[in-house]
Amino acid sequence: MEVKFFSVGCGDAISIRFLGSDRVFHNILIDGGEERNENNYKNGIKKEIDAIIKRKEIIDLWIITHIDDDHIGGILRFIYENNTTKQVDISKTIFWYNYANEDYDTRITKSDYKNVPQAILLRDYLKSHSKLEESITTATEPIDFYGAKITILSPNQQRFEALVEKWKNEEMKEDVKRKVEEKKRKMNIPKYQSAKSYDYDTKVDDFDLTQFEEDKKPENGSSIAFIFEYSGKCFLFLADSFPSVIVESLTNLGFTEENKLILDVMQVAHHGSKGNTSNELLKLISFKEDAKFVISANSINVHKLPNKETMSRIIRHFPEQKVQFYITHKNEKTLDIIKKKDNLKNVEILFSEGFNPIEL
Tens digit of each residue's pLDDT (9 = 90 or more) over 45-55: 999 999 999 99
Dist. CA 349–CA 297, nearest whole Å: 13
pLDDT of residue 168: 77
Sheet strands (E) in the chain: 2-5, 14-19, 25-30, 61-64, 94-97, 131-133, 143-145, 148-154, 225-230, 233-237, 261-263, 265-267, 285-287, 291-295, 323-327, 347-351, 358-359
> 225 pairs with which residues across the strands?
154
CB-based contact 223:155 (threshold 8 Å) = yes
CB-based contact 72:32 (threshold 8 Å) = yes
**3-class SS of residue 217:** coil
Whether 29 has a pLDDT exceeding 90, the answer reads yes
User: Residue 194: which pLDDT band, with cuts at 50, 70 and 90?
Assistant: very low
Dist. CA 265–CA 294, nearest whole Å: 7
Average pLDDT over residues 241-264: 98
pLDDT of residue 192: 35
Dist. CA 70–CA 50, nearest whole Å: 21
pLDDT tens for residues 158-191? Answer: 999 998 888 777 766 655 555 556 655 555 544 4
Least confident of 37-46, 120-129, 188-197, 345-354: 188-197
Q: Please state, for a pLDDT cut of 70, what percent of the chain lies above it.
A: 88
H or E segment and range at residue 126:
helix 116-129
Dist. CA 164–CA 178, nearest whole Å: 20
Q: Residue 183, Cα to own-chain centre: how many angstroms?
A: 32
The domain defined by 2-359 carries CATH number 3.60.15.10: yes
Query: At a CB cut-off of 8 Å and minimum separation 6, what does 1 contact?
Result: 16, 17, 18, 19, 230, 231, 233
Within the chain, what is the greatest distance between any pair of CA atoms? 59
CA distances to 152, 285, 344 from 259, rounded to whole Å, are 19, 9, 28
Return the number of other C-beta atoms located less than 10 Å from residue 57's C-beta: 14
Dist. CA 274–CA 131, nearest whole Å: 36
pLDDT of residue 182: 61
User: Residue 121: which pLDDT band, with cuts at 50, 70 and 90?
Assistant: confident
Q: Which tops the pLDDT comparison, 34 or 295? A: 295
**3-class SS of residue 131:** strand
User: Residue 69: which pLDDT band, with cuts at 50, 70 and 90?
Assistant: confident
Q: Please state, for a pLDDT cut of 90, what percent of the chain lies above it.
A: 69
Average pLDDT, the chain: 88
- pTM > 0.85: yes or no: yes
Whether 102 has a pLDDT exceeding 90, the answer reads no
